[in-house]
């Protein structure tokens, strides 16, 4: 049935129809008609206004990462779009379904170069360069179809961000619009049985298989564990795949524990992963290695050397492998004790990365099993990639291959909005935390009870170490003069604490999590005193 609505109203309706319940953003004249339509639907669509577009987009990212649902943010065109761009490229890097909803200058001005408010030479080209798919809604009647298409892109195949822009005047323009348009639901890709048969002949003969999982396998935890048990193979992950196989089971290995196993690997079974660990971090490729991959993105497979590439959904592909292997394999002798010994040995070795490991042990002991740990590009964050055990998929939140300083605190707020009943801790350096410090105001205003731990070494500590060790102590731009973090938090209306040792952090973190209000815990560290985590991340 046709209805007389504005493009803004048609977009809001499309969001509701596609299951959106939460939006983050900052309004401006170009988006007023959209914001007004969201106001009209506010019983269905909650809106959190942020202090910077970067914050809105990172919150949408955290929301998507924590829940698997689509994270949505709105921003004005031009500088608003660009302010949010680092979060959009993070969503791209980490395969997160994030929708950027923005506007454009007046439709008859696009491409003229008159230089009017918020104009970019070619905004749509920029959005296309940052996303899987981006389109302009040029007519209110097209809005339902384009919103539906956005959700098809967001929910089918490889999840990655998308963007929609609708010019200022079009957003407020009325037309008779058919609102009842559903996204096309493409079934998940099934594997080719011939390719499965080839994979099975490689895998069945493996003496030392290793399973590597990435974010693409997060919904396949039962299947991956079953494959690990069948093959008696360890399972490892770099960042986004962590927790798919819990590190509490003998089969779940941190990247540090997996490295010695990797050196003797003869068959790598890589599921939903780009294999960054193997090709970029570990670099060394064992002689005679065969690589079997399952990936939903056919374009991903030829990017790295692959012997058998299975284009399929991770769960369907792994199930097909299990079914085909069932008849082919004899029961293998248990390697559980061997894996446990390997893990204990590596834990003893990386215990040298102090004081980070001691702090991480305290955080792991206090954070509930299903609590979220949001890392940052800092000494504790780098160390966490191998020294902080993860038990559940999605609970370790990182920034994919971007490693972009500052994403963590803002992202953690979106995580908490998506999972309000679960504990959320972000682990920040003093440098990175200040990239998103303004969102303390958002946390307090909207009662988003995350705990930010800020390791204050009064420096961009990683830069300081690099300049010390690689550039002969020629320091530049590494020292930071910081505010008093406890008083800073309090001035926003958040709880502020200071913990000067791992033992002191435990009770403070317990209390902060129990209170479930926005909190910051400063941990002072002497500059230059943290042991380098890099030998464990780049062992070669
Ligand atoms: C957006 C962005 N800018 C700059 C960098 C380079 N960089 C990587 S680590 C780092 C220092 C981080 O300092 P801090 O957050 O205080 O953590 P610390 O290393 O001191 O623990 C910098 C500047 C980056 N990764 N991303
Ligand atoms: Mg620092």
Task: Dump pLDDT digits (tens) for 49-82.
Answer: 999 999 999 999 999 999 999 999 999 999 999 9
Cis omega before residue 412 (within 30°)? no
* Total number of residues shown for the chain: 540
Contacts of 506-509 with C-beta under 8 Å, sequence gap 24+, read 506/362, 506/365, 506/366, 509/362, 509/363, 509/366, 509/367, 509/425, 509/451, 509/453
| Stated pTM of the model | 0.98
The DSSP 8-state label assigned to residue 29 in this structure reads G
Could you tell me the pLDDT band of residue 17, with boundaries at 50, 70 and 90?
very high
Does the structure show a pLDDT above 90 at 327? no
Q: What is the pLDDT of residue 1?
A: 86
Distance CA 10, CA 76 (A): 18
Contact residues for 445 (Cβ-Cβ < 8 A; gap 6+): none
Name the closest-CA residue to atom 6, ligand 1.
405
Burial (Cβ within 10 Å: 0-12, 13-18, ≥19) of residue 123:
buried
* Cα of 433 from ligand 1 centre, angstroms: 10
Average pLDDT over residues 511-535: 98
CB 81 within 8 A of CB 105: no
3-state secondary structure string, 171-193? HHCEEEEECCCCCCCCCCCCCCH
| Ligand number nearest to the C-alpha of 436 | 1
* Cα of 486 from ligand 2 centre, angstroms: 16
Strand-pairing partners, residue 426, are 374, 452
CB 55 within 8 A of CB 410: yes
The answer, yes or no, to whether any atom of ligand 1 lies below 6 A from the CB of 395, is no
DSSP readout, 500-514? -SHHHHHHHHHHHHH
> Could you identify the residue written with the tokens 């669509």?
45
Q: What is the pLDDT of residue 187?
A: 87
Q: Is 533 helix (H, G, I), strand (E, B) or coil?
A: coil
Task: Dump pLDDT digits (tens) for 293-317.
Answer: 999 999 999 999 999 999 999 999 9
Nearest to 513 by CA among 373, 411, 355, 393: 373
Q: What is the pLDDT of residue 540?
A: 79
CA 461 to chain centre: 23
CB 27 within 8 A of CB 118: no
Task: Dump pLDDT digits (tens) for 404-443.
Answer: 999 999 999 999 999 999 999 999 999 999 999 999 999 9
| Ligand number nearest to the C-alpha of 464 | 1
Q: Taking the CA of residue 299 as centre, how many other CA atoms within 13 Å lie in the half-sphere pointing to its CB?
A: 3
Q: Which two tokens stand for residue 431?
A: 């440098």
Nearest to 294 by CA among 282, 279, 306: 306
The answer, yes or no, to whether any atom of ligand 1 lies below 6 A from the CB of 233, is no
Could you tell me the pLDDT band of residue 176, with boundaries at 50, 70 and 90?
very high
Distance CA 461, CA 382 (A): 12
Task: Dump pLDDT digits (tens) for 446-465.
Answer: 999 999 999 999 999 999 99
CA 296 to chain centre: 18
Number of Cβ atoms within 10 Å of the Cβ of 112: 11
Distance CA 396, CA 184 (A): 31
Task: Dump pLDDT digits (tens) for 133-168.
Answer: 999 999 999 999 999 999 999 999 999 999 999 999
The answer, yes or no, to whether any atom of ligand 1 lies below 6 A from the CB of 432, is yes
Task: Dump pLDDT digits (tens) for 450-505.
Answer: 999 999 999 999 999 999 999 999 999 999 999 999 999 999 999 999 999 999 99
The answer, yes or no, to whether any atom of ligand 1 lies below 6 A from the CB of 461, is yes
- 282 phi, psi to nearest 5 deg: -75, -30
Q: What is the pLDDT of residue 189?
A: 83
* Cα of 417 from ligand 2 centre, angstroms: 27
Q: What is the mean pLDDT of the chain?
A: 97
The answer, yes or no, to whether any atom of ligand 1 lies below 6 A from the CB of 241, is no
Nearest to 380 by CA among 423, 427, 425: 427
| Ligand number nearest to the C-alpha of 404 | 1
Could you tell me the pLDDT band of residue 188, with boundaries at 50, 70 and 90?
confident
Cα R_g (the chain), whole angstroms: 24
Does the structure show a pLDDT above 90 at 112? yes
> Could you identify the residue written with the tokens 């490729």?
285
Does the structure show a pLDDT above 90 at 110? yes
The answer, yes or no, to whether any atom of ligand 1 lies below 6 A from the CB of 381, is no
The answer, yes or no, to whether any atom of ligand 1 lies below 6 A from the CB of 379, is yes
Average pLDDT over residues 362-378: 98
Distance CA 22, CA 13 (A): 13
Distance CA 453, CA 497 (A): 9
Atom of ligand 1 nearest to the CA of 403: 25
């Amino acid at each position: 049935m046709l209805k007389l609505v504005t493009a803004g109203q048609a977009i809001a309706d499309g969001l509701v129809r596609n299951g959106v319940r939460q939006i983050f953003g900052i309004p401006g004249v170009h988006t007023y008609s959209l914001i007004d339509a969201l106001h009209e639907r506010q019983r269905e669509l909650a809106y959190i206004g942020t202090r910077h577009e970067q914050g809105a987009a990172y919150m949408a990212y955290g929301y998507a990462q924590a829940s698997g649902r689509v994270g949505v943010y709105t921003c004005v065109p031009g500088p608003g779009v660009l302010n949010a761009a680092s979060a959009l490229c993070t969503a791209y890097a980490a395969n997160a379904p994030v929708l950027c909803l923005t506007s454009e200058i007046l439709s008859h001005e696009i491409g003229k170069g008159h230089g009017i408010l918020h104009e970019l030479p070619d905004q749509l080209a920029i959005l296309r360069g940052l996303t899987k798919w981006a389109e302009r809604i040029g007519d209110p009647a097209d809005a339902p179809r384009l919103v539906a298409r956005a959700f098809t892109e967001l929910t089918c195949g490889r999840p990655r961000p998308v963007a929609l822009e609708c010019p200022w005047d079009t957003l407020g323009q009325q037309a008779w619009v058919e609102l009842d348009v559903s996204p096309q639901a493409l079934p998940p890709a099934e594997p080719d049985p011939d390719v499965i048969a080839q994979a099975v002949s490689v895998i069945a003969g493996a003496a030392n298989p290793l399973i590597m999982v990435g974010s693409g396998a997060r919904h396949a935890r039962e299947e991956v564990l079953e494959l690990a048990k069948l093959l008696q193979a360890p399972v490892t992950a770099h960042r986004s795949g962590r927790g798919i196989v819990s590190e509490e089971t003998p089969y779940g290995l941190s990247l540090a524990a997996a490295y010695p196993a990797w050196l003797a690997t003869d068959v790598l079974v890589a599921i939903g992963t780009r294999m960054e660990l193997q090709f970029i971090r570990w670099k060394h490729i064992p002689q005679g290695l065969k690589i079997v991959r399952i990936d939903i993105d056919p374009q991903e497979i030829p990017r790295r050397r692959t012997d058998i590439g299975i284009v399929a959904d991770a769960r369907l592909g792994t199930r097909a492998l299990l079914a085909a292997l069932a008849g082919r394999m004899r029961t293998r002798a248990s390697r559980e004790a061997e894996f446990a010994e390997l893990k204990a040995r590596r834990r003893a070795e990386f215990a040298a990365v102090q004081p980070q490991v001691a702090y991480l042990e305290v955080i792991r002991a206090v954070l509930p099993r299903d609590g979220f740990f949001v890392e940052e590009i800092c000494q504790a964050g780098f160390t966490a990639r191998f020294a902080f055990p993860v038990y559940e998929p999605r609970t370790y939140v990182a920034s994919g291959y971007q490693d972009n300083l500052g994403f963590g605190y803002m992202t953690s707020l979106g995580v908490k909005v998506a999972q309000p009943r679960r504990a959320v801790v972000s682990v920040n350096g003093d440098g990175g935390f200040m990239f998103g410090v303004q969102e303390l105001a958002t946390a307090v205003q909207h009662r988003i009870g995350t705990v930010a731990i800020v390791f204050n070494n009064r420096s961009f500590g990683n830069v300081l170490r690099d300049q010390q060790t690689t550039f002969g102590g020629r320091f530049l731009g590494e020292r930071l003069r910081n505010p008093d973090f406890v008083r800073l938090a309090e001035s926003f209306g958040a709880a502020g604490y200071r913990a000067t040792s791992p033992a002191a952090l435990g009770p403070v973190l317990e209390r902060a999590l129990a209170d479930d209000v926005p909190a910051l815990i400063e941990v002072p560290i002497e500059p230059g005193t943290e042991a380098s985590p890099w030998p464990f991340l780049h062992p070669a």
